[in-house]
Amino acid sequence: MRVVFIGDIVGRTGCEYVAQILGAGLAERKPDLVVANAENAAEGRGLTRKLAELLYDAGVEFLTLGNHTWDQKDFAEWVDDDKRIVRPANYPPGTPGQGYTVFRVQGKSVLLVNLMGRTFLSQLDCPFRTLDRILDEHPDVHLVLVDMHAETTSEKLAIGWAYAGRVSAVFGTHTHVPTADAQILPGGTAYITDVGMVGPRTGILGMDRESVIRRMRTQLPTRFTVASGPRQFCAVQADFDNQGRAIAIEPWQVIEPGGL
Ligand SMILES: [Fe+2]
Ligand SMILES: [Fe+2]
């Protein structure tokens, strides 16, 4: 089974670039499942229904989120209507939306989990105990895919190693900068510390660089907007055997030509 996982998509421009790249790339790569992190789709802040539809039309089948989950104020009102969306599972019990979902691909059951780290982010429930509970409740799934949305490398590596051989993949998201450590951990767990982002490469993490620099220099409240200009597409492609063990993981990255 082949899975394509796309890193944090920034802004409408990032969503449109996903559509452009998948338009040609899916026929060539033929994945059985496409998942993307969409926490920055709406101008860097959360997800709207319209942009979710744009991504589904592009070929993305499930969307994960992160610390920007609640930035769109009506999101909590409609998220429960769309079972293709998964937000971090370690938000407190009773939070709208779902922290994981189970579905079938090619006759096999797939468990998709979104977790969030706690270092430099909100103090959510323990991601380890949360994942333990979810795995205990789903002993018979074939493939377990985890989006570990975290600021620090160590927290992502810790999840990778703690669940090596117990989950099929740990895809790190949130930093928007792809890491060069895609690897298969012992027991067949595909791992990368950060997949990277889809969005303008002319900005800072996809946002207009002048506004980011202004806020850092002055500490004044500054509204960040999505940068314009050429974009990058960062994803990984991972292959799994019939036991749900990873046999390959490789980055799929495209740089749109153009000046900075
Ligand atoms: Fe992000
Ligand atoms: Fe994030």
Question: How far out from the chain centre does Cα 149 lie?
Answer: 7
Under 8 Å between Cβ of 148 and 161? no
Q: What is the pLDDT of residue 170?
A: 99
- pLDDT-derived band of residue 158, with 50, 70 and 90 as boundaries? very high
Please give the mean pLDDT across all residues of the chain: 97
174 CA distance to ligand 2 centroid (A)?
4
Cβ neighbours of residue 173 closer than 8 Å, sequence gap 6 or more: 7, 8, 37, 39, 64, 66, 147, 148, 149, 194, 195
232 CA distance to ligand 1 centroid (A)?
14
Gyration radius of the chain's alpha carbons: 17
Half-sphere exposure of 208 (CA within 13 A, CB side): 11
Q: What is the pLDDT of residue 186?
A: 98
Q: What is the pLDDT of residue 259?
A: 77
Q: Which amino acid is at 186?
A: P
Nearest ligand, CA 120:
2
118 CA distance to ligand 1 centroid (A)?
15
For 186, the token pair is: 């012992």
Longest dimension (CA), the chain: 55
Under 8 Å between Cβ of 46 and 74? no
Helix (H) or strand (E) segment spanning residue 13: helix 11-29
Kindly report, residue by residue over 11-52, the tens digit of the pLDDT: 999 999 999 999 999 999 999 999 999 999 999 999 999 999
Q: The pTM is what?
A: 0.98
**pLDDT (average), residues 215-239:** 96
Kindly report, residue by residue over 165-216, the tens digit of the pLDDT: 999 999 999 999 999 999 999 999 999 999 999 999 999 999 999 999 999 9
Nearest ligand, CA 7:
1
170 CA distance to ligand 2 centroid (A)?
16
For 177, the token pair is: 């900068």
For 140, the token pair is: 């018979």
216 CA distance to ligand 2 centroid (A)?
19
Ordered by where they begin, the domains of the chain are 2-255 (3.60.21.10)
Nearest ligand, CA 69:
2
Q: Which residues are registered as beta bridge partners of 64?
A: 37, 86
The rounded distance, in Å, linking the Cα atoms of 115 and 146 is: 7
Q: What is the pLDDT of residue 65?
A: 98
Active site residues: 68
Nearest ligand, CA 151:
2
Q: What is the pLDDT of residue 102?
A: 98
183 CA distance to ligand 1 centroid (A)?
22
For 69, the token pair is: 């989950």
pLDDT exceeds 80 at position 260? no
